[in-house]
Amino acid sequence: MIPKLRNRRFLPGFDDDMFGKDFLRDFFDFENNPSVPDVNVREDKDKYTIEVAAPGLEKKDFDVDIQNNVLTISSEKEHKDEDQDESYLRREFSYSAFQRSFSLPDTVKVEDIKAKHDNGVLYVELPKKKEAVEKASKKIDIE
């Protein structure tokens, strides 16, 4: 038997502590849902950047919200294609939706968060508070 590959993007660590090793991973198996885009989270000295790879989606297809210090990126897109001919009517519908949520650290300056869309990638920039940037850099003397 081939072991099932699991995606650890959803609540890593939480499921192990609360419900046992495989409970939530089996319930929320994203491997079978190709509409959930991959996400990169990068940390620089003065900001965090979330990159959402979503080819085929446009700027207008995304919603980015913050509530209770949780950043939520979501999208819904519906496509209808109809052809009318003398002898038949063909209709094809497609619908895709996803939602990804991120708990923001206290170091993020929420009021300055920005988002931009470029070539199928949504970039969300989360600037760090000044005190977090200052704490992050410290010169260490060598004895």
Tell me if 15 is assigned to some domain.
Answer: no
Tell me if 143 is assigned to some domain.
Answer: no
Strands in the chain per DSSP E: 39-43, 47-53, 62-67, 70-84, 89-103, 114-118, 121-127
Tell me if 42 is assigned to some domain.
Answer: yes
Q: Domain total for the chain?
A: 1
Q: Tell me if 28 sits within 8 A of 51, measured CB to CB.
A: no
pLDDT for residue 26: 43
pLDDT for residue 53: 92
> Pairing relation of β-strands 62-67 and 70-84?
antiparallel
Tell me if 70 is assigned to some domain.
Answer: yes
**Residues in the chain with pLDDT values less than 70:** 1-35, 79-93, 136-138
pLDDT for residue 50: 95
Domain containing 84 equals 35-136
Tell me if 51 is assigned to some domain.
Answer: yes
Tell me if 118 is assigned to some domain.
Answer: yes
Tell me if 8 is assigned to some domain.
Answer: no
Distance CA 133, CA 84 (A): 60
CATH number at residue 61: 2.60.40.790
Tell me if 12 is assigned to some domain.
Answer: no
